[in-house]
Homo-oligomer: A and B are copies of this chain.
Amino acid sequence: MLHIDHDSKKPIYQQIYEQVKQDILSGNLPIGIRLTSTRALARELQIGRNTVENAYAQLVLEGYITNVASSGYVVNNLQFNLNQKARARSTISEAAAVTANCGTENIRYNFRYGNLDAASFPDKLWRKYLTDVLAGPEAQEVHSDGDVKGDIELRSQLLEYLYHSRGVNCKPEQIIICSGTQAALEIIIKIFPYVEKKVAMEEPCYNGASVIFRSNGFKILPISVCEDGIELNELATSSARMVHIAPSHQFPMGSVMPIHKRIEILNWARQHDTIIIEDDYDSEFRYNGRPIPSLQSIDQDERVVYVGTFSKALSPGLRMAYMILPTWLLTAYQKRFTGYQCTVPLLEQKILARFMADGHWEKHVRKICLSQKKKHDILISAIKQTMGNKVRIYGHQAGLHILLEFLDGQQEDELLRKARECSVKVYPVSPFWLNKQNYKHHALVLGYGMMPEKDIPRAVEILSRAWFD
């Protein structure tokens, strides 16, 4: 028996469709039975015949009934007694509860590493270029998949920028725009012709990189890091044919690889037919001089895959990075990724390309570098003043974080707990160690990219008291 609710927002044809479907699924309307004709049902329900026809047409389309010539609409044999799935359905409020559970603790000062404060993002220009792109001559193009390597305009802008700022020398076809550094590594893994799945990495290193190799079944060979970067003797005696390093600002230790060592590692790569993945993740931030030219810029033998990102200087929320492949890997790239689509939104790429073309990127980098230097200086001086020789500072004069080593033997857990008790969040170094048992647990990472300048002295003072009083 069909019931029509004329007050319902649901269209009448849909009410009919749903009820008849339910009757078929529950067996109330058995196989082979003839439905009331559209004319009769329309009369019975006092509605237009068209409405009933629409409902029946949908049921035909979905295969519940068939329009049999001369006998009208007949229920099909569905072969199975199917009760439409009635799993407990999640509601938005449940989802909200999930969110709430991941909520942040009570944090007054957060030395989070990896992103800038929201105020550093060029909101106004981003909006302006969004408007321009959506209304401009590229309005149609922007609604397409685009080139798998990324927008050619953006790649051209990057090419100019990287040449001037990092000495990077390449052709536009070597640049690939990716959804973050991890996505770049995934691509490299797919195209490098390795014999064995082995990679040498710095110990400690960025865990966002090591996870990619590990998840792809690589054996990771940890190589010690000293004051001037990765230990070359250790690397040379390893059997790795691929090494991942951050020579211009090792993460998290902050060491810088000097020129003679850069030459040596390039030489090693040539002798052993190896590639070097150069992770140049925060090269924009150097506070005592020019950025150090990249390894790629002095690589005469195409041994370096250069990886950079917009996460640090713009926003990790953009998920945009880039890499520069050696030309000899381009054929393998082409072979592997023909038919693939770029994973970075073309809309974002076009916005960024215009932002760069108009000179805003370089201005932006200068500006945030200045403001971060100020914060860096305040942090260093506050630490020196309050903690003096109880700690040793690593990796300053660059980047968006420092590493703090505790000379009095305090352990990571204890240090984190003490900070947390004062509502200050600092970060452990242990996640960056490949072999955690080699790690002595006497250090912490403090990022200052997100922290307001004025909060730094107070936050350091609180930490100093918590740790040393």
Contacts and interface: CB of A to CB of B under 8 A. Distances in A.
Interface string A106-120: 000000001111100
A85 to B, nearest CB: 5
Interface string A202-235: 0000011001100100000000000010000000
A70 interface: no
A193 to B, nearest CB: 15
A63 B179 contact: no
A25 B372 CA distance: 33
B134 A121 contact: yes
Nearest to A267: B80
B319 A263 contact: no
A118 B95 contact: no
A315 interface: yes
A347 B182 CA distance: 19
A256 B327 CA distance: 46
A82 B263 CA distance: 8
A172 B208 contact: no
A126 interface: yes
A244 interface: no
A71 interface: no
Contact of A297 (B85, B152, B169, B297): B85
Interface in A251-298: 256-264, 267, 288-290, 292-293, 297-298
A319 B339 contact: no
B259 A62 contact: yes
A168 B163 CA distance: 50
Contacts of A392: none
Nearest to A122: B134
A128 to B, nearest CB: 10
A146 interface: yes
A316 interface: yes
The 7 nearest A-B residue pairs measured at CB: A63-B258, A211-B339, A179-B343, A95-B156, A58-B289, A63-B259, A317-B346
14 contacts: A14-B290, A61-B288, A76-B259, A85-B298, A89-B163, A90-B159, A99-B152, A114-B144, A117-B140, A127-B127, A127-B130, A208-B341, A215-B336, A345-B345
Interface of A: 14, 17, 54, 57-58, 61-64, 76-80, 82-85, 87, 89-90, 92, 94-96, 98-99, 102, 114-118, 121, 123, 126-127, 130-131, 134-135, 139-140, 142-147, 152-153, 155-157, 159-160, 163, 167, 169-173, 179-180, 182-183, 190, 207-208, 211-212, 215, 228, 256-264, 267, 288-290, 292-293, 297-300, 315-320, 336-348, 450
Given A95-B155, A143-B317, A318-B347, 5 more contacts: A17-B289, A142-B317, A144-B317, A179-B179, A211-B338
